[in-house]
Amino acid sequence: MIALGALGRASLAVWRAGRAALGALGRALSVWVDATFGRRLMARIWMHGVLLFVGVLLTVLAGRHLLADVDDASTLRAHPYLARAAGERVLAARAHPAALADELARANRHTPLRLAVFSPAGAPLPGSPPSLPPPTAEELSALRPAAPATSWRHHRMLVAAYDGARLDAVVVLVAPAPPSLAWHVVVLLLCALGSAFVFAAGPLALSIARPLGRLRALTRKLGAGDLSVRARWRRRDELGDLARSFDAMAEQLQKLRAAERQLLGDVSHELRTPLSRMRVVLALAEGAELPRARAYLAEITSDLGELEQLVEDIITSLRLDNATTTWAEAQPPLHKERVAAVALVEHAAERFRARWERRALEVHAGALAGAVLEADLPMLRRALDNLLDNARKYSPDDTAITLRAERRADPAGDRLRLTVIDHGAGIPAEAHASVFTPFFRADPSRARSSGGVGLGLALARRIVLAHGGVLDFESREGEGSRFWIELPLRDDPGHPG
């Protein structure tokens, strides 16, 4: 009993292992099919070729079946001794009506010939149906005991049986007339055309030509300005990939059109706000005393600075966009010089504090002595200023902003990492992919406290990329954001810093 139990458990284990192996093999085969034939338009076209071959083969077999009698008749006409042997076999049973009827039925069933047996007087013998005209005197005159069979004439042949020198019976054999060559050609051509349509042209049109026609129609609609068109195909071949690329292109065009319209509204709003303030301030300054008028002029100067920054960002963006075909390739022209990393950080902090006296900025600079950058200083300052100003806009006034500079070791060479940290609202996770997109803003309200048209981060990233660096970020909604720039360093202990 113990042995039987062990044998049963072993058998069960083997069965489970075999089932698992077959399942794994099936899954691997399914993955392979999906990765090769399942996604290949060439495999689909190849399958249509196979179907076409099958159709032609079926056409040939059908023609062979339909024209079998014609071919057999041609063979009998080409080899008259075969027809004579069939006639002699029938004549051998002429004395027995039942046997004669059986032989005639067998000959009619297995050959394309029609046969009938007659007496010398022209009457059908018992057992032979009178289905053929009796032999004529002319045909009988051609028969001799030494030559008891005639050749084919008008598709008829006579085979005679003699009793000594006396004619005893005659069998008449008739072969079907061969069709003309044109009939053969027409039938085979029609069959071939029908097979080609059924097995190749029809399925090919349904699976390839019709989807391409639909995609062409969608492309025309897109070209006519309908940016809402989508293919939304689930095919897994190249046509499906093409349709998904079309949908992505249409989606991007729609987003760009929406961004363009939003940009026009945002620029109008951004220009209108400082202009309105300046108009009010100028009206107040007309009758104000000198100290008060100077304060008004300071406000106008601030508004003019905002307008100048806005116009400069837009002009820079347009210049970069006109100089290249894609945003990723758009990089500003650089005039590089040797810049001390410490000086870059200190000057950025001084500018921020001078402009925003009430905002706390904490600066933490590591061991940067001798660290030198090859950089376009005005451009790099602008990128860093954009990060600091962005942190100011999106964090409360009573929270500090941190600027941290540190030297990081890297196998390709040391790098300078500049990190700007705020404790503001943060960026929603769904907006992370669009942060560096031109004209994108996490705050769609365009409130004055977070004004701008969404070009600051996009321009900063292009400037950093042009210097061979990296600009990236991490952010959590409700906790704040951390943006950092990494740039390659050059050691120069003699450089002032």
Tell me what pLDDT residue 304 has.
Answer: 74
Tokens of 398: 């009573």
DSSP string, 236-288: -SHHHHHHHHHHHHHHHHHHHHHHHHHHHHHHHHHHHHHHHHHHHHHHHHHTS
For the chain, the distance separating the N- and C-terminal CA atoms, rounded to the nearest angstrom, is 91
DSSP string, 145-168: SS--BPPPBTTEEEEEEEETTEEE
Residues 6+ apart with CB under 8 A from 88: 159, 161
Tell me what pLDDT residue 483 has.
Answer: 95
Tell me what pLDDT residue 465 has.
Answer: 86
- Residue 426: burial class (beta carbons within 10 Å; 0-12, 13-18, 19+): buried
Tell me what pLDDT residue 36 has.
Answer: 52
Tell me what pLDDT residue 290 has.
Answer: 66
Kindly give the parts of the chain with pLDDT less than 50. 322-330, 446-449, 495-497
Cα 137 versus chain centre, distance: 81
Residues 6+ apart with CB under 8 A from 229: 218, 221, 222, 250
Buried b (16+ CB within 10 A) or exposed e, 392-417: bbbbeeeeebbbbbbbeeeeeeebbb
- pLDDT tens-digit profile of 21-55? 777 776 766 556 555 555 566 666 667 677 777 76
Tell me what pLDDT residue 326 has.
Answer: 47
Tell me what pLDDT residue 470 has.
Answer: 92
H helical segments located in 67-162: 68-78, 80-91, 97-110, 137-141
Tell me what pLDDT residue 170 has.
Answer: 92
Round to whole Å and give the CA distance between 457 and 474.
Answer: 14
